[in-house]
């Protein structure tokens, strides 16, 4: 396993990170012991980067139990910000919620520190200075070792960096956007911006939320891996990549994962293995390197910086979700 430096933190992480959304017993693997076996196998294979979130059901609890006795072997990341109940203050990026959310995550994970604490989605209702101030205090207390964000537009990344510099706060060390053969939009601005600021980038959805596994859409729907499979164009393009992978003598999953980790701006790609079989398939491709010819062929299918459809969990800014923000009203 060839490790990479996570931005400018000095922390060494594997090019594949283990995402643990599927460890939640309500939406993924119902057997925590089985999830623990998946995590231990990943660690034994050299993966040292584990990512979870307080919004992933009981995933933090499952991860915390599975890491007993092996906590020091792991760069442990979790996230805050998405709703954690009905209380309107149990979400977002306010100082009030951050100081509560981090204690909750520490308790569930059974640890005294979090290696990477990330804002799960941008919070337009909270000033970024308040968020960075609270996170800087957590860094100084030792409860958190690095901070990051997820789903942030390039303009938001720049605003956070400038705010940190002006106010003497710690800037985000990392960003976690969606990225795959089907969704390359972050190549246009987000990845160049994170590279400009020396940030680590942990990408999610490298298998196109199941469409790049080679499994049939009906099977993915029955397995509960995706909610929306109505975009026929996405299916068509995924089929083209399956044909390219076969021509290259690779499983589609290996092509997809190797593509995401080939970009110089990407530190690690999250693999969301639910079972040992899924994990073993992905581990077998960790050393795959794509030739320039294959990368050129990929560019022909989906040009750089473009998206084919939208990922289910992609962040949509208020201007896209609230029509009132796009319509000038008569006086």
Residue 328 has pLDDT above 90, yes or no: no
Please indicate, yes or no, whether the overall pTM of this predicted structure exceeds 0.85. yes
Instruction: Say what angle helices 154-167 and 128-141 make with each other, to 10 degrees.
Output: 60
Q: What's residue 311's pLDDT?
A: 75
Round to whole Å and give the CA distance between 170 and 161: 9
Round to whole Å and give the CA distance between 77 and 144: 10
Asked if residue 15 is part of any domain, the answer here is yes
Tens-digit pLDDT profile for residues 161-204: 999 999 999 999 999 999 999 999 999 999 999 999 999 999 99
Residue 25 has pLDDT above 60, yes or no: yes
Asked if residue 84 is part of any domain, the answer here is yes
What confidence category does residue 247 fall into, taking pLDDT thresholds of 50, 70 and 90?
very high
Q: What's residue 18's pLDDT?
A: 98
Q: What's residue 230's pLDDT?
A: 59
Tens-digit pLDDT profile for residues 142-168: 999 999 999 999 999 999 999 999 999
Q: Is 3 a catalytic residue?
A: no
Instruction: Count CA atoms within 13 Å of residue 20 on its CB side.
Output: 35
Tens-digit pLDDT profile for residues 258-317: 999 999 999 999 999 899 999 999 999 999 999 999 999 999 999 999 999 887 778 888
Round to whole Å and give the CA distance between 126 and 133: 12
Q: What's residue 133's pLDDT?
A: 98
Give me the torsion for CA of 112, 144, 119, 278, rounded to 10°.
-60
Domain that residue 177 falls in: 4-326
Asked if residue 9 is part of any domain, the answer here is yes
| Cβ within 8 Å of residue 190, ≥6 positions away | 152, 153, 154, 157, 175, 177
Round to whole Å and give the CA distance between 133 and 301: 44
Residue 131 has pLDDT above 60, yes or no: yes
What are the structure tokens assigned to 52, written together? 């979870």
Residue 227 has pLDDT above 70, yes or no: no
Asked if residue 155 is part of any domain, the answer here is yes
Instruction: State the catalytic residue, choosing from 56, 117, 179, 315.
Output: 56
Angle of CA points 122, 125, 128, to nearest 5°: 60
Q: What's residue 216's pLDDT?
A: 61
Beta bridge partners of 109: none
Over range 103-115, report the average pLDDT.
98
Q: What is the CATH number of the domain that holds 93?
A: 3.20.20.100
> What percent of the chain has a predicted confidence (pLDDT) above 70?
95
Considering the chain, what is the average pLDDT of its residues? 93
Please, is 230 exposed, middle or buried when counting C-beta atoms within 10 Å of its C-beta (0-12, 13-18, 19+)? Answer: exposed
> Number of structural domains, the chain?
1
Asked if residue 176 is part of any domain, the answer here is yes
Asked if 133 contacts 174 with a C-beta cutoff of 8 angstroms, the reply is no
105 vs 220, higher pLDDT: 105
Q: What's residue 144's pLDDT?
A: 98
Asked if 108 contacts 79 with a C-beta cutoff of 8 angstroms, the reply is no
Asked if residue 331 is part of any domain, the answer here is no
Tens-digit pLDDT profile for residues 41-81: 999 999 999 999 999 999 999 999 999 999 999 999 999 99
């Amino acid at each position: 396993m060839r490790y990479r430096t996570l931005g400018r933190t000095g922390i060494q992480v594997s090019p594949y990170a283990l995402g643990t959304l599927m460890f939640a017993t309500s939406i993924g693997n119902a057997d925590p012991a089985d999830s623990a076996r998946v995590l231990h196998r990943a660690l034994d294979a050299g993966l040292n980067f584990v990512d979870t979130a307080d919004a992933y059901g009981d995933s933090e609890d499952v991860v915390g139990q599975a890491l007993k006795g092996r906590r020091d072997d792991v760069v442990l990341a979790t996230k805050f910000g998405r709703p954690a109940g009905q209380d309107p203050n149990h979400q977002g990026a306010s100082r009030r919620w951050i100081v509560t959310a981090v204690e909750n995550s520490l308790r569930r994970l059974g640890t005294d520190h979090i290696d990477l604490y990330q804002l799960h989605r941008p919070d337009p209702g909270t000033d970024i200075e308040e968020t960075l101030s609270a996170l800087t205090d957590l860094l100084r207390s030792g409860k958190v070792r690095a901070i990051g964000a997820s789903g942030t537009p390039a303009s938001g990344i720049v605003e956070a960096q400038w705010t940190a510099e002006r106010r003497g706060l710690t800037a985000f060390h990392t960003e976690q956007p969606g990225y795959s053969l089907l969704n390359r939009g972050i190549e246009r601005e987000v990845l160049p911006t994170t590279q400009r600021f020396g940030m680590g980038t942990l990408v999610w959805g490298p298998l196109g939320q199941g469409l790049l596994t080679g499994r049939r859409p009906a099977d993915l729907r029955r397995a509960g891996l995706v909610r929306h499979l109505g975009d026929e164009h996405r299916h068509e393009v995924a089929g083209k990549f399956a044909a390219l992978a076969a021509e290259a003598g690779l499983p589609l999953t290996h092509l997809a994962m190797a593509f995401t980790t080939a970009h110089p701006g990407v530190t690690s790609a999250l693999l969301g293995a639910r079972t040992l079989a899924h994990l073993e398939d992905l581990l077998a491709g960790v050393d795959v390197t794509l030739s320039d010819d294959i990368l050129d062929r990929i560019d022909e299918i989906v040009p750089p910086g473009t998206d084919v459809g939208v990922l289910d969990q992609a962040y949509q800014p208020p201007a896209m979700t609230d029509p009132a923000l796009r319509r000038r009203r008569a006086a």
